């Protein structure tokens, strides 16, 4: 995904560009020395910012200007034009900003601005505890410190690794095309530098919502003033004989991924059980390692339930083009040593088996504590649970979605991070409703699929462009209303769809 290694392109902005090249609403990419810089005129004001997104280096000039923000075309991060702040995930680090001057019919980019230090906020005596070191938990901790939260932050995670870029575990890192140092969301020093007490391999056993106290696996207790539950989801394990063998894996953590990579080094053939996002991304990543891959799944078409038949057929064809063997409308009934037994009586010899049949939200902690549960932890639009001062975010949270008007729970990286960010601000006393259009992306070989909105059921699908040619916008509608939009290489339309959904929800 990284790009932009060819050196700076476009005009030298220190020498100025004609005013006429920059009408209102225009974005122009150029450079200052080695820095690639985006020059923007929005509502009469000129801005100069880094030209590439701080997430995976998306080209912001291909994005969208919305209010006082620029939105990244690849995974919809929002940056403030004024300060460069990454206001909405998945980008977390700010863009650099430069001073701009307009004179004698030209626009000049001048020196780099010095980033402002945040004012401290809240009481130094306050203690916020975050349970979970994943997308939502990390984004919350980062936002608390970014906005100057003065109190203590403790992050408890039963994972052995500090927060990682989980989506990478089924993509570039698994494929062997991303180095290990891409995987952590921040280096180990960052936590101490930011006074975040990160306790890894720490299981939270129970929560007493009334006395605001957690009991850890070793029976020690931790008191909190505010709490964020961000315990995510765990992969569903299949109840079939042979599933507990060392070459049978699920994929959630860095340790899971490392174990698959280790065995993949000597593997000739892999069986992936489940044509889910994780199953199929795993298939693509292992094909990049030149391993024979067989995908076994009960459905007729991969991902049809989410994307409909046209994209389902496309995804199947794409994987077949890359050599994946599908065994659809079938399942694995047993794994006898290295032999996977199919329901239809066939067998496939496999050195490694990866199970990708979905996940279950980890809600036991909240449930046992008596918090309101509705196939997830119920929260209001400020991500607060039924217990005052206790928040939930990410894969476990069921929230009132402003876009669909329904209470939904999704398993998307960007949603988890943004909910963590909203929860952080609410915990700091800055009222912040979570009203983003749900967004996820999935990557299969060189084909990214973006999806905005939420459609569990639809009555019609409109397709603009050509799915098989990898150039399309697919709209899922119910009663004529667009619920969700999937797209391939139509980033602008995807961004515009998200903005239209958010605007419609704001008016409703
Ligand atoms: C391999 C993979 C690829 C993915 N790719 C994409 C993608 O391309 N696009 C997309 O939108 N989404 C993707 N997802 C989904 C996305 O990663 C999740 O939606 C997101 O991580 C959810 O964030 P979370 O904070 O809710 O949970 P998580 O990120 O799972 O974090 C949960 C944390 O809680 C900890 N924890 C749980 N219970 C306890 C306890 N009792 N005590 C202490 N700690 C506990 C866990 O150890 C973990 O640190 C992918 C997921 C996986 C596994
Ligand atoms: S590259 Fe910009 S949001 Fe991912």
**Cα of 232 to ligand 1 centre, how many Å?**
5
What number is the average pLDDT over the span 290-301?
98
The CA-to-CA distance between both ends of the chain, in Å, stands at: 37
Per-residue pLDDT tens digits for 185-221: 999 999 999 999 999 999 999 999 999 999 999 999 9
Q: What is the pLDDT of residue 6?
A: 63
Q: Which two tokens stand for residue 252?
A: 């959630």
Q: Which helix (H) or strand (E) holds 417?
A: helix 413-427
Quote the strand ranges of 268-351, DSSP E: 269-273, 292-297, 325-328, 332-336, 339-342, 347-349
Cβ(199)–Cβ(163) under 8 Å? no
502 lines ligand 1 (CB under 6 A): no
pLDDT band at 508; cut points 50, 70, 90: confident
Cβ(417)–Cβ(89) under 8 Å? yes
Say whether pTM exceeds 0.95: yes
3-state secondary structure at position 453: strand
Of 17, 40, 291, 9, nearest to 175 by C-alpha is 291
pLDDT band at 117; cut points 50, 70, 90: confident
What number is the average pLDDT over the span 338-347?
96
pLDDT > 90? residue 1? no
77 lines ligand 2 (CB under 6 A): yes
CA distances from 367 to 130, 208, 361, 386 (A): 17, 11, 11, 11
Q: Give residues with Cβ within 8 angstroms of 447, minimum separation 6.
A: 318, 470, 488
Q: What is the pLDDT of residue 5?
A: 53
Q: Which helix (H) or strand (E) holds 281?
A: helix 277-288
Q: In whole numbers, what is the pLDDT of the chain averaged over residues?
A: 96
**Cα of 76 to ligand 2 centre, how many Å?**
6
What number is the average pLDDT over the span 148-159?
98
Task: Looking at the CA of 64, name the nearest ligand.
Answer: 2
Q: Give residues with Cβ within 8 angstroms of 395, minimum separation 6.
A: 136, 232, 233, 359, 361, 362, 409, 410, 411, 416
Residue reference for tokens 């601000």: 425
75 lines ligand 2 (CB under 6 A): yes
CA distances from 31 to 14, 45, 160, 194, 421 (A): 8, 19, 42, 32, 32
452 lines ligand 1 (CB under 6 A): no
Question: Within a 13 Å sphere around the CA of 131, how many CA atoms are in the beta-carbon half?
Answer: 29
Q: What is the pLDDT of residue 122?
A: 84
């Amino acid at each position: 995904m990284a790009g932009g290694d060819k050196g700076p392109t476009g005009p030298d902005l220190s020498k100025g560009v004609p005013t006429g090249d920059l009408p209102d609403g225009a974005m122009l990419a150029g450079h200052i020395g080695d820095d690639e810089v985006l020059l923007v005129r929005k509502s009469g004001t000129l801005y100069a910012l880094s030209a590439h997104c701080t997430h995976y280096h998306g080209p912001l000039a291909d994005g969208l200007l919305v209010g006082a923000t620029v939105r990244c075309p690849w995974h919809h991060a929002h940056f403030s034009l004024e300060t460069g702040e990454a206001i909405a995930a998945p980008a977390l680090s700010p863009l650099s900003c430069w001073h701009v001057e307009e004179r004698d019919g030209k626009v000049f980019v001048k020196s780099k601005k010095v980033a402002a230090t945040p004012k401290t906020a809240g009481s130094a005596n306050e203690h916020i505890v975050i349970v979970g070191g994943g997308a939502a938990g990390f984004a919350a901790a980062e936002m608390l410190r970014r906005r100057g939260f003065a109190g203590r932050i403790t992050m408890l995670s039963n994972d052995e690794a500090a927060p990682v870029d989980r989506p990478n575990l089924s993509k570039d890192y698994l494929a062997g095309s991303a180095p290990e140092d891409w995987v952590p969301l921040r280096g180990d020093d960052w936590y101490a530098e930011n006074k975040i007490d990160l306790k890894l391999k720490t299981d939270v056993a129970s929560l007493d919502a009334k006395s605001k106290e957690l009991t850890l696996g070793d029976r020690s207790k931790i008191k909190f003033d505010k709490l964020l539950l961000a315990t995510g989801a765990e992969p569903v394990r299949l109840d079939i004989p042979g599933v507990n063998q060392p070459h049978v894996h699920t994929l959630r953590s860095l340790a899971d991924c490392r174990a698959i990579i280790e065995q993949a080094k000597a593997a000739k053939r892999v069986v992936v059980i489940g044509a889910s996002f994780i199953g199929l991304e795993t298939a693509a990543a292992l094909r990049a390692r030149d391993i024979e891959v067989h995908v076994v799944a009960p459905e007729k078409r991969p991902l049809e339930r989410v994307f409909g038949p046209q994209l389902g057929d496309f995804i199947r064809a794409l994987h077949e083009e890359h050599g994946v063997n599908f065994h659809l409308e079938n399942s694995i009934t047993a794994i006898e040593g290295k032999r996977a037994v199919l329901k239809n009586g066939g067998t496939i010899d496999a050195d490694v088996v990866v199970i990708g049949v979905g996940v279950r939200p980890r809600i036991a902690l909240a449930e046992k504590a008596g918090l309101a549960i509705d196939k997830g932890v119920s929260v209001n639009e400020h991500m607060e649970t039924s217990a005052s001062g206790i928040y939930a975010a990410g894969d476990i949270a069921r929230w009132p979605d402003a876009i669909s008007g329904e209470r939904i729970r999704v398993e998307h990286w960007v949603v988890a991070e943004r909910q963590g960010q909203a929860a952080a601000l609410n915990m700091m006393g800055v009222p912040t409703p979570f009203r983003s259009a749900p967004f996820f992306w999935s990557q299969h070989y060189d084909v990214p699929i973006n999806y905005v909105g939420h459609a569990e059921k639809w009555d019609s699908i409109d397709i603009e462009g050509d799915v098989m040619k990898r150039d399309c916008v697919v709209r899922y509608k119910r009663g004529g209303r667009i619920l969700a939009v999937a797209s391939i290489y139509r980033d602008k339309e995807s961004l515009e769809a998200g903005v239209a959904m958010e605007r419609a929800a704001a008016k409703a």
